[in-house]
Amino acid sequence: MSIKGKAFIAGIFEHPTRHAPDKSTAQLHAEVAKGALEDAGLSKADIDGYFCAGDAPGGVMAMVDYLGLKVRHFDSTDTGGCSYIVHLGHAAEAIAAGKCSIALITLAGKPRTGPMPPRATGAEADFEAAYGATTHNVYGMCAMRHMHEFGTTSEQLAWIKVAASHHAQYNPHAMLPDVVTVEDVLNSPMISDPLHRLDCCVVTDGGGALLVTSETIARSLKKPLVRMIGHGEALKGPRGGTDLDLTYSAGVWSGPRAFEEAGVSPKDIKYASVYDSFTITVLMQLEDLGFCKKGEGGKFVADGNLISGVGKLPFNTDGGGLCSNHPVNRGGMTKIIEAVRQLRGEAHPKVQVQNCDLAIAHGTGGLLGIRHAASTCILERA
Amino acid sequence: MANPAKYPAPQGNPETAEFWKQAAEGKLLIKRCTACGEAHYFPRSICPFCFSDKTVWEESSGEGEIYSFSLMRKSASGPYAIGYVTLKEGPSILTNFVDCDLGRLRIGQKVRVVFKSTEGPPLPFFTPV
Q: Flag whether pLDDT at A195 surpasses 70.
A: yes
Computed on alpha carbons and rounded to an integer, the radius of gyration of chain A in Å comes to 19
DSSP state of A321: I
Nearest chain B CA: its distance from A183 CA (Å): 20
Measured CA distances, A142 to A247, A313, B86 (Å): 6, 23, 15
DSSP state of A136: H
Mean pLDDT calculated for residue range A318-345: 98
Q: Flag whether pLDDT at A43 surpasses 50.
A: yes
Residue A287: which pLDDT band, with cuts at 50, 70 and 90? very high
- Asked whether the whole model's pTM tops 0.90, one would answer yes
Interchain proximity A130–B75, CB inside 8 Å: no
Nearest-angstrom CA–CA distance, B126 and B96: 6
Nearest-angstrom CA–CA distance, A65 and A79: 23
- By C-alpha distance, the chain A residue nearest B74 is A191
Considering chain A, what is the average pLDDT of its residues? 97
| Residue A21 CB neighbour total at 10 angstroms | 10
Q: Flag whether pLDDT at A20 surpasses 60.
A: yes
Nearest-angstrom CA–CA distance, A153 and A298: 7
* Angle formed at CA A83 by CA A279 and CA A120, multiple of 5 degrees: 90
Mean pLDDT calculated for residue range A123-145: 96
Domain A132-202+228-381 - what CATH class? Answer: alpha beta
Q: What is the CATH number of domain B62-120?
A: 2.40.50
Contact B96, A214 (CB under 8 A): no
Residue B116's nearest CA partner among B108, B105, B124 is B124
Q: Give the pLDDT confidence of A204-243 residue by residue, as tens digits.
A: 999 999 999 999 999 999 999 999 999 999 999 999 999 8
Q: Give the pLDDT confidence of B72-110 residue by residue, as tens digits.
A: 999 999 999 999 999 999 999 999 999 999 999 999 999
Complex ipTM value? 0.96
Residue B2: which pLDDT band, with cuts at 50, 70 and 90? low
Percent of chain A predicted with pLDDT > 90: 97
Nearest chain A CA: its distance from B103 CA (Å): 10
Q: Give the pLDDT confidence of A148-180 residue by residue, as tens digits.
A: 999 999 999 999 999 999 999 999 999 999 999
What residues have CB less than 8 Å from A25, skipping those under 6 apart?
A55, A57, A108, A109, A110, A114
- What is the structure's pLDDT at A1? 78
Going by CATH, does the domain composed of A7-113+205-227 fall within 3.40.47.10? yes
A118 contacts chain B (CB < 8 A): no
Residues of B in contact with A244 (CB under 8 A): 67, 84, 86, 92
Interchain proximity A240–B67, CB inside 8 Å: no
- Given A190, A239, A370, which is nearest B73 (Cβ)? A190
Interchain proximity B96–A132, CB inside 8 Å: yes
The residues of chain A that CATH labels 3.40.47.10 are 7-113+205-227, 132-202+228-381
Contact A250, A369 (CB under 8 A): no
Q: Give the pLDDT confidence of A78-111 residue by residue, as tens digits.
A: 999 999 999 999 999 999 999 999 999 999 999 9
- Given B70, B75, B86, which is nearest A141 (Cβ)? B70
CB neighbour burial string for A191-212, b if at least 16 within 10 angstroms, e if fewer? bbbbbbebbbbbebbbbbbbbb
CB neighbour burial string for B87-118, b if at least 16 within 10 angstroms, e if fewer? bebbbbbbbbbeeeebeebebebebebbbeee
- What is the structure's pLDDT at B1? 45
